[in-house]
Structure 1
Amino acid sequence: MGRDVFLVSNSVDELGGVTSWSHQLARLLTERGHRVHVIGITTPEDPHDLGELPYPTTRLYAGQPPAPGRARDASMREKATVLTGLFRAARPGGVVIVTQVWAMEWVNVADTGGLTVIGMSHESFETSKRSSRFRRVLKHYRNVDRMLALTREDADLWIGAGLNNASFMPNAVPWLPDEPSPRTERAVISIGRLSDEKGVDMLLDTWAEVAPRHPDWVLRIYGSGEDEEILRKHCTALGLDDSVQWKGRTGDVRGALRGGSVFALSSRGEGFPLALMEAMAMGVPCTAFDCAPGVHEIIQDGEDGLLARPGNTGELARKLDLLMSDPELRDRMGEAARRNIRRYGAEEIAGRWEALFGFLER
């Protein structure tokens, strides 16, 4: 029998990894007969067009909530009554999945009686520990039925920090295409937000070492963000304008990956990076900074991709050079990546979610 499942995030329609993940899981659970409702706290100024969805969505605020203080507290209580109304309509066995700890602050004020509540952290333990989110996770997720990290390694660290309800659930790869990238174009692909955490500045430093040895290759950077102007200036200062292509946002990730032969992830921090999984699903071999447990769980170093120490641009450059110089290595690792990433297939992960729902209901 299908369950009522509420997915609560900071936003329903901003362009970002957690939002994409929320809609991916919502579709998976809907296809398996569950009644899913996706709820966002805020509405961004430039909402992403979601198209027609097979499940309802709700936004608590037409814009942003008031700043912290009495007005925020009063507003939170008011909006929590909206959540309570939605939750009370759930049939027995209902589940609330809160994907981000900020959203949990509203859920905590609402009445979740009779429902299973699952809280999530979509970043590594170490990334969270470096931010204000760390203490909020410890505070707001302490009494949920299960707190989910993305890897067993991160779950163990949360348990060590005092969250004895911690466990883990990896992300699912959204698609497993029949046709991989032909890996014939001399292009390295990067996909991600142009922000400090994604480390595109370090990717440009890496490319400055690699590009002179491969004058017929280009680096294609897909994404937008607050650091775009400074990154473009950095690119120019490194003398890379002729070999770096700024592609902006893309709604066709498969097409972008099909046009590349190597994928590069240069992040300072990650959770369980979707772009990495998508590249592997397309058979594009990856190089990445080993910046989080999710990265070295996805990539099996030396078998289906190559890892470099976090922030070591010289080492990442050597790994890139290896793949760019050796088409047979690219093909071997690309095919291994396609095979290995299937362990995170959508049906596999959806089944794990359903098993968790049943376990927590006992």
Structure 2
Amino acid sequence: MKIAFLVRDLCHMGGVVSATQNLAGALAEKHQVEIVALRKVRDESYFPLDPRVSVRVLSDLRPHSPVSDLDDPLVEKFPLVYHPNAGAKKPVVSRLAELRLLEYLATTDADVVVSSSPRNTIMLAHAQGSYLKVAQEHSMPSIYAHDIKPRLFKAYLSLDALTALTPEEVVSIGRQVPAVRDRLAAMPNCVPAAPVRSRGTNKVVISAGHLSDNKNHVLLVEAFAKIHSQAPDWTLRIYGDGAEKGKLKARINELGLSNSILLMGQVAPVSPEFGKASIFVLPSKREAFGNVLVEAMAAGLPVVSTDADHGPRNILTDGEDGLIVPRGDVDAMAQAILRLIRDDELRAKMSDNGVRNAERFHETASRERFEAILERAFARKALPQHATARVDTSGSVHIGVGPLPEQARGAELALRRGGKNAEERRFPLSADGEALVPWDAALTHGTWETFLVTPSGAEVPLTTDGYGCDTRDLLAVELPRAGAHPLALLLPHRHDDGRLRVRSSLREAHAEVGPVQVDKEAIRISAQVWGAALGAGAAVEAVHRRDKERVLTFPAQADGDGTVRVSIDCKALVDQHTDEEDKEVIWDLWLRPAGGAPRVALAKLATDVLKTTDVFTFPRPVITEPAAATPSVVSRAVRKARRTLGATPQAPRRKKTELRPYFTVLHQFAVKTVRM
């Protein structure tokens, strides 16, 4: 198998570059692997790269390079697809690199193309290749800038697989982009075995990372100040560089610890330095994974780490190979470090456990984990994913995906409804790839997503096109139904994302809104009542959207055929829109079929119209309230003063209120009053 990794470049120090190179090297044991870099600005990477991995550079920005692209005018141009860095005056990735990447993606013979950054993921989704498209999230999309999130989340929909560093982040991404939950998997970073192992005898505590606010080395300095008074012969070494360096140095000097806390600067690779220490500390506020934790464990260092989301708790086992302390707690961190300083036996035990536990992130385990993800993605890609849906005259839905391949025999159609009370229902697929969803399957009211699920557990969401849903016979379905649910109607439809969904309208009692007449005097509504007996005291209640205790009641007239009619007084609604309220007030309309009976929503559900809000529109009368008949003493005085000054008398101000009858997104009839 040929696997290509897309990176911006290999010319900076960072966990993403390290993890990508490590995984590429691990996969090179069994596969042909290349790294495609959009640019190159220095001769060598900071991290070792397996010689079996080839590197393809798309734009060479080294002045001394014989193949330098610096004289190409497109180097100064911003890209059109690749998302630019906010506020950048010059492109980090140029239009030249973008065009070459698009050409590569259109012509590559790779079986799998893997993106390791959000911007490359957008580019990968834009490509038309038939290869497997995979993205690895090395951070937390929830914290990404708002300008990139919409494009990135849309790009996810075009991927065959998407990985995150921890199970928590898998859940988080699935919550943000529910449509990709079926292709998400946890994939920790690949971290090789340590080249040097600590003997655990040097009185040195070590930390490493970018000196930024998030890495929070200030916390470690404060903690070590407490430690120093009890263990003055121990030193702290902090490796890294960044914006917080000056602040750290100043605080170290204030504490008088310049001989005990050493800022070692940036070292690459840093893992050989771990052999000189006996304890490793990670003080981060947030940590998506934490390569250095695994590197420290592999080097035989017991670890003290903050409980930063979400990496440390997925790497360390508290009390076994390290100690996890609350974020931001200086005292807890100092006590944990002191505990390890004072207990040689505990350090030795955690050292052995850490070396053993780190193996699950080494090359072999990482390769096998990633291969399993690819295997599942290939299996999904081979499954039928396009579906058609047809409603018959009874209202049942026939969903077809075409003949099933051998590996999909025995597959089922899964319908899933999200939300707080999520549900799943399954229906068998025939060998011809057709499933029947009966109208009386009693699917809970709401919208259901459709999936094809194989006996082995592989699954794909089903898509459809503009011709894929035949709902002609839906209009011929006779309602109400006999039985417990007089309203039971299934509406298959194509969602905005191209997915096939089924809307289930299921009600034990329902008031289906019919003709509506609107003028300045009243909103006259006729509705069919199903599953509820009309009786004395029948009324329609207008309930204030924000203050449910505010209810206006309008008597309803019941006809003998189950029809109810009501006249909503426009002036009554306007009078209830007080000056103290917002510009807009919404009243939701409910029917009480009889005095004391439970409310039934007045709604439009027995229809093939998916978005009633957009389709059923009504006149919007404007009610003008007359001016006050008797001016107040103050208003008369003001008018007299204006006449004395020669000003034109002001006409009494009249209030205008527009009434907007409409169906809500939940298809319930409502009236909005708007002050103009």
Place the TM-score, normalised by the shorter chain, in its bin: 0.7 to 0.9
Structure 1 residues 269 and 42, CA gap change in structure 2 (3 angstroms): farther
For 1:257 and 1:187, how far apart are their aligned partners in 2? 10
Query: 1:119 touches 1:144 (CA, 8 Å); kept in 2?
Result: yes
Secondary structure of 1:139's partner? helix
From 119, 122, 127, the counterpart of 1:105: 122
What's the % identity of the aligned pairs? 27
Structure 1 residues 300 and 137, CA gap change in structure 2 (3 angstroms): farther
From 114, 117, 121, the counterpart of 2:133: 117
Aligned: 1:160 with 2:175: yes
Question: 1:52-71 residue pairs with structure 2 within 5 A?
Answer: 53-54=51-52, 55-60=54-59, 62=61, 66=77
Q: Amino acid of the residue matched to residue 166 of structure 2?
A: T
| 1:293-341 deviations in Å (ceiling 9; x for gaps) | 2210100011110001112122111111111111111111111111112
The structure where helix makes up a greater share of residues is 1
Out of 52-61 and 207-216, give the one that drifted further.
Answer: 52-61
- CA radius of gyration, larger in: 2
Structure 1 residues 27 and 69, CA gap change in structure 2 (3 angstroms): closer
Query: 2:82 touches 2:123 (CA, 8 Å); kept in 1?
Result: no
Question: 1:225-264 residue pairs with structure 2 within 5 A?
Answer: 225-264=242-281
Partner of 1:198: 215
Secondary structure of 1:272's partner? coil
Structure 1 residues 280 and 43, CA gap change in structure 2 (3 angstroms): same
Query: 1:13 touches 1:50 (CA, 8 Å); kept in 2?
Result: no
Name the Cα RMSD after superposition: 2.9
Structure 1 residues 131 and 343, CA gap change in structure 2 (3 angstroms): farther
Higher relative contact order (CA 8 A, sep 6+): 1
Secondary structure of 2:8's partner? strand
Q: Amino acid of the residue matched to residue 36 of structure 2?
A: I
Partner of 2:189: 171
Out of 289-298 and 46-55, give the one that drifted further.
Answer: 46-55
Instruction: Tell me how far 1:223 sits from its aligned partner.
Output: 1.3
Instruction: Tell me how far 1:48 sits from its aligned partner.
Output: 4.2
Aligned: 1:332 with 2:330: no
Query: 1:12 touches 1:57 (CA, 8 Å); kept in 2?
Result: no
Out of 64-73 and 192-201, give the one that drifted further.
Answer: 64-73
Question: 1:272-311 residue pairs with structure 2 within 5 A?
Answer: 272-311=289-328
Instruction: Tell me how far 1:130 sits from its aligned partner.
Output: 8.0
Partner of 1:40: 37
Partner of 1:151: 166
Structure 1 residues 130 and 334, CA gap change in structure 2 (3 angstroms): farther
From 315, 334, 344, the counterpart of 1:317: 334
For 1:135 and 1:273, how far apart are their aligned partners in 2? 27
Out of 227-236 and 38-47, give the one that drifted further.
Answer: 38-47
Instruction: Tell me how far 1:103 sits from its aligned partner.
Output: 2.4
Instruction: Tell me how far 1:65 sits from its aligned partner.
Output: 6.7
Out of 297-306 and 192-201, give the one that drifted further.
Answer: 192-201
TM-score scaled by structure 1? 0.88
Question: 1:22-41 residue pairs with structure 2 within 5 A?
Answer: 22-34=20-32, 36-41=33-38
| 1:143-190 deviations in Å (ceiling 9; x for gaps) | 21122111112101211122423221111221155x631100000011
Query: 1:124 touches 1:293 (CA, 8 Å); kept in 2?
Result: no
The structure where strand makes up a greater share of residues is 2
Secondary structure of 1:31's partner? coil
Secondary structure of 2:374's partner? helix
TM-score scaled by structure 2? 0.49
Partner of 1:9: 7
Secondary structure of 2:286's partner? coil
Instruction: Tell me how far 1:248 sits from its aligned partner.
Output: 1.5
Q: Amino acid of the residue matched to residue 58 of structure 1?
A: V
Structure 1 residues 70 and 101, CA gap change in structure 2 (3 angstroms): closer
Q: List runs of 5+ in structure 1 lacking aligned partners.
A: none
Structure 1 residues 216 and 66, CA gap change in structure 2 (3 angstroms): farther
For 1:71 and 1:265, how far apart are their aligned partners in 2? 34
Aligned: 1:346 with 2:363: yes
For 1:15 and 1:186, how far apart are their aligned partners in 2? 28
Instruction: Tell me how far 1:258 sits from its aligned partner.
Output: 0.9
| 1:94-143 deviations in Å (ceiling 9; x for gaps) | 1111111022233344x3420111112112466x3687665554233232
For 1:49 and 1:331, how far apart are their aligned partners in 2? 31
Aligned: 1:359 with 2:376: yes
Query: 2:283 touches 2:305 (CA, 8 Å); kept in 1?
Result: yes
Out of 24-33 and 134-143, give the one that drifted further.
Answer: 134-143
Out of 134-143 and 150-159, give the one that drifted further.
Answer: 134-143
Instruction: Tell me how far 1:280 sits from its aligned partner.
Output: 0.4
Query: 1:181 touches 1:261 (CA, 8 Å); kept in 2?
Result: yes
For 1:235 and 1:32, how far apart are their aligned partners in 2? 49
- Aligned residue pairs, count: 355
Instruction: Tell me how far 1:67 sits from its aligned partner.
Output: 5.6
Query: 1:209 touches 1:317 (CA, 8 Å); kept in 2?
Result: yes
